[in-house]
Amino acid sequence: QVQLVESGGGVVQPGRSLRLSCGASGFSFSSYGMHWVRQAPGKGLEWVAVISHDESMEDYADSVKGRFTISRDNSKNTLYLQMDSLRAEDTAVYYCAKKLPGSYYEPPDYWGQGTLVTVSS
């Protein structure tokens, strides 16, 4: 079965960086695009970034463009989110999610359990 396990969350000061990882198993990781989605405490879901299966395409929400970078290592079945210049409003649970099969423009189907990032001085 599909398993996605996020790691790397924690408390970080504003302006600093953090890298999240998402280990994947139970499916052919290199065949699927992947998303990052976040959820601030008590708030709704916010899509963050997407990457194609072969890293040829990636896109970002306006709120993180220029600060966050999505990447993947298909040899390690791992997805990453490099977060730079962090702000208090980036505080959230960050979920990685596998895309539905199909085109680049497919939504998430399976989600990890999430990792909490808290940006605070």
Strand partners, 37: 47, 95
Q: Among the candidate windows 7-15, 55-63, 66-74, 80-88, which touches other proteins by CB under 8 A?
A: 55-63
Nearest distance from residue 50's CB to other proteins, in Å?
7
Residue 77 gets the label, from left (phi > 0), alpha (psi -120 to 50) or beta, of left
Site for other proteins in 66-105 (CB under 8 A): 95, 100, 104-105
β-pairing verdict for 10-12 and 68-73: unpaired
Where do contacts with other proteins occur on this chain (CB under 8 A)?
Answer: 35, 37, 44-47, 50, 59, 61-62, 95, 100, 104-114
